[in-house]
Amino acid sequence: MPIYNKLVRDRIPEVIESTGKQFSTRILENEEYIKELKNKSFEELEEYINTENDNDAIEELADLLEIIHALAECHGASIEKVEEVRQKKAEKRGGFKQKIFLIDVEDE
């Protein structure tokens, strides 16, 4: 029996159950949940980095966004609040649309 020991989406137990396979799960405490969401974010980011086409990239970005939604809620914020903070940072420091790559800065 494969051992996963990882956070999964809410409906995965239903999916596994529909195959007739036996499985076990447990509900995480909040601190452990945040830790596992962080671990999951690295897993999904690695999957995004390894994509080779736009469709797969969008799928993995959607997974990352789902994790961001969950983390925002853990920290007492909505995704709208996260977006508001993102917009303020973009106004102050810009975004990444101009594709600027900083090479060096003179030391004083």
State pLDDT tens for residues 46-62.
999 999 999 999 999 99
From the centroid of its chain, how far is CA 18?
27
Sign of CA dihedral 77, 88, 47, 39: negative
pLDDT at 10 over 90: yes
Q: Which residue has 């990239």 as its token pair?
A: 57
Closest CA to 41 of 49, 51, 52, 53: 49
Closest CA to 67 of 46, 47, 38: 38
- Stated pTM of the model: 0.88
Tokens standing for residue 39: 């671990």
